[in-house]
Copies of this chain bind each other. A is one copy, B any other.
Amino acid sequence: MIFTKACEYGIKAAVYVAEQSMNGYRASLKDISKEIDSPEAFTAKILQTLVRNNIIISVKGSAGGFEADLKKIKKTKLIEIVLAIDGTLHEGRCVLGLNKCSEVHPCPVHNKYKHIKKDILTMLEKTTLAEMSNSVIEGLSCLRN
């Protein structure tokens, strides 16, 4: 599992909020958890985290909900969402958990895994929220079954 469950929900929620914002709508917690098929209360917690980390915006009160700034959406990278939710990138860690795994002191899997790790990092750093939302808007991908 590259993402924790919280992260999975967080990414899907962010994509949905961005998608709605692109279409001029604001998304409520109820909508979001329905659309991404996630537990409502738990999703609320994750959304709060995304708000605190300035990835999305919350609007309180009646007719409130969550939005995303259109310019921000284009700049927000997947890695920022992961860091906001998990606090840390567990891809930084050695696959076998060695404290000082490195080129000069590698674990038995290091050399086989380093390319994979690099690819994962690249994906996290390059993929934008806009990219993901667009693919959903265009019907090229979906957020639930």
Q: Which residues of A contact B (CB under 8 A)?
A: 1-3, 5, 8, 11-12, 15, 78, 90, 93, 95-100, 105-113, 115-116, 119-120, 123, 127, 132-133, 135-136, 140-145
Contact = CB atoms under 8 A, between A and B. Distances in A.
Given A105-B142, A141-B108, A8 B116 contact: no
A15 B2 CA distance: 24
A115 to B, nearest CB: 7
A97 B16 CA distance: 15
A93 B1 CA distance: 8
A5 B116 CA distance: 19
Given A108-B136, A113-B123, A123-B116, A3 B96 contact: yes
A107 B1 contact: no
Given A2-B95, A99-B145, A11 B109 contact: yes
